[in-house]
């Protein structure tokens, strides 16, 4: 019996070894503090280790007088060049919707979605092509936009109140999302349709705490994803809780939402990315290990840790790799899931490298 146990243990360890640290690291997108990425910086060392992507911000959220990653167009261009020297395939992301959510506005400030929707399709094309060209010229290859949320709840502060939605009519939202995505693609910038399965009917803000949309969510909020599943590169999953879709977990941690609804029912075959896994909606209720485990098992390919609160909240790549390695060894996540996610991520990277 002892020899059998040893044999089983040896086989298990061989199985786990088949998933490399680089494959685990490839599933994470991290924020970081610093305006440089030379070989001595932690972010460069992480990228050399296989970190899949980074997300950039201009100002620090804990002190708006200080810069987090860049202060000018040239500083952003220089940083992105250094990042790519560390890892040529890195996904360099920003949140660039227009309006209140735009990290890059050196050439001009871009209108919010609700304003764009009043200008007409031709004006939208002009604005979004200019935006895409600016991102491309600065070395950004991934835009975490556009918004696919429907403006269904006038009391919604985080989407509707900020004018981030193109409107309540799903056909209108799809039309302007398509214009946005096509513009980004014309300059080889990847896109992310968000926030699945719908954040426009909510009352709360997932940045701050638990948000239950069960009594407000409507099935039509899924329509943009059906229509654009073959157009967008990625879909970002929200932290909203909807017991009609999953009675236990919020969307970003739910296999019922990500795998069954988005992949199997809607038929999305691209990369799924989580919303920031440090947001209060889930960080206050789930440990780091559980957030990682549940996200991966839900079917999320890229786990986003934007590290946008303060330096004390930073989650290191080393910690995340150790966490996933432990989950693999315990059987809490499978090798096959990690491998499948890497196939999708690498396909995306090859397209926008």
Return the SS3 of 218.
coil
- Other C-beta atoms closer than 10 Å to the C-beta of 14 total 9
Report yes or no: 203 and 153 within 8 Å, Cβ to Cβ: yes
**pLDDT of 10-40, one tens digit each?**
444 444 449 999 999 999 999 999 999 999 9
**24, part of any domain:** yes
Domain range holding 45?
20-352
**5, part of any domain:** no
Burial of 118 (0-12, 13-18, 19+ CB in 10 A): exposed
Q: How many CA atoms lie within 13 A of 174 on its CB side?
A: 15
**8, part of any domain:** no
**pLDDT of 191-241, one tens digit each?**
999 999 999 988 755 555 568 899 999 999 999 999 999 999 999 999 999
Share of the chain above pLDDT 70, in %: 93
* pTM assigned to the model: 0.93
Please report, for the domain that includes residue 170, its CATH number. Answer: 3.20.20.300
Count of domains observed in the chain: 1
> ω before 36 within 30° of 0 (cis)?
no
Question: How far apart (Å, rounded) are the C-alpha atoms in residues 118 and 111?
Answer: 11
How many residues in the chain?
Answer: 353
Question: How far apart (Å, rounded) are the C-alpha atoms in residues 236 and 274?
Answer: 5
**6, part of any domain:** no
pLDDT tens, position by position, for the chain (353 residues)?
A: 445 444 444 444 444 449 999 999 999 999 999 999 999 999 999 999 999 999 999 999 888 899 999 999 999 999 999 999 999 999 999 999 999 999 998 989 999 999 999 999 999 999 999 999 999 999 999 999 999 999 999 999 899 999 999 999 999 999 999 999 999 999 999 999 999 999 998 875 555 556 889 999 999 999 999 999 999 999 999 999 999 999 999 999 999 999 999 999 999 999 999 999 998 878 889 999 999 999 999 999 999 999 767 777 789 999 999 999 999 999 999 999 999 999 999 999 999 98
**63, part of any domain:** yes
Tokens of 255: 């296999």
**14, part of any domain:** no
**233, part of any domain:** yes
**106, part of any domain:** yes
Question: How far apart (Å, rounded) are the C-alpha atoms in residues 314 and 291?
Answer: 15
Question: How far apart (Å, rounded) are the C-alpha atoms in residues 201 and 215?
Answer: 9
């Amino acid at each position: 019996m002892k020899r059998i146990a040893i044999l089983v243990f040896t086989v298990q360890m061989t199985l786990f070894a088949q998933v490399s640290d680089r494959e685990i690291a490839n599933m994470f997108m991290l924020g970081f503090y610093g305006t440089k990425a030379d070989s001595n910086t932690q972010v460069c060392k992480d990228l050399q280790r296989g970190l899949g992507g980074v997300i950039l911000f201009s100002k620090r959220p804990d002190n708006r007088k200080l810069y987090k990653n860049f202060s000018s167009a040239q500083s952003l261009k220089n940083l992105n060049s250094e990042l790519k020297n560390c890892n040529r395939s890195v996904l360099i992301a920003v949140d660039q919707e227009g309006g209140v959510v735009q990290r890059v506005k050196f050439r001009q400030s871009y209108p919010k979605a609700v304003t764009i929707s009043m200008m007409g399709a031709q004006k939208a094309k002009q604005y979004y092509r200019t935006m895409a060209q600016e991102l491309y010229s600065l070395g950004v290859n991934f835009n975490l936009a556009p918004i696919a949320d429907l403006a269904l709840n006038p009391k919604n502060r985080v989407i509707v109140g900020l004018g981030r939605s193109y409107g309540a009519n799903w056909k209108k939202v799809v039309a302007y999302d398509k214009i946005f995505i096509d513009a980004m693609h014309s300059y080889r910038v990847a896109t992310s349709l968000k926030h699945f399965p719908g954040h426009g009917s909510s009352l709360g803000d997932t940045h701050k705490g638990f948000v239950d949309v069960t009594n407000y969510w409507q099935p039509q909020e899924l329509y943009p994803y059906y229509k654009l599943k073959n157009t967008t590169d990625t879909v970002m999953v929200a932290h909203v809780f909807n017991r009609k879709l999953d009675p236990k977990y919020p969307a970003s941690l739910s296999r019922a939402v990500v795998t069954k609804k988005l992949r199997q029912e809607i038929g999305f075959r691209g990369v799924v990315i989580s919303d920031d896994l440090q947001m209060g909606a889930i960080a206050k209720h789930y440990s780091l290990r559980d957030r990682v485990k549940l996200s991966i098992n839900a079917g999320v390919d890229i786990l986003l840790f934007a590290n946008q609160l303060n330096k004390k909240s930073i989650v290191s790549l080393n910690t995340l790799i150790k966490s996933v390695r432990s989950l693999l060894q315990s059987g809490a996540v499978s090798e096959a899931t990690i491998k499948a996610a890497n196939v999708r991520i690498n396909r995306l990277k090859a397209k926008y490298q």
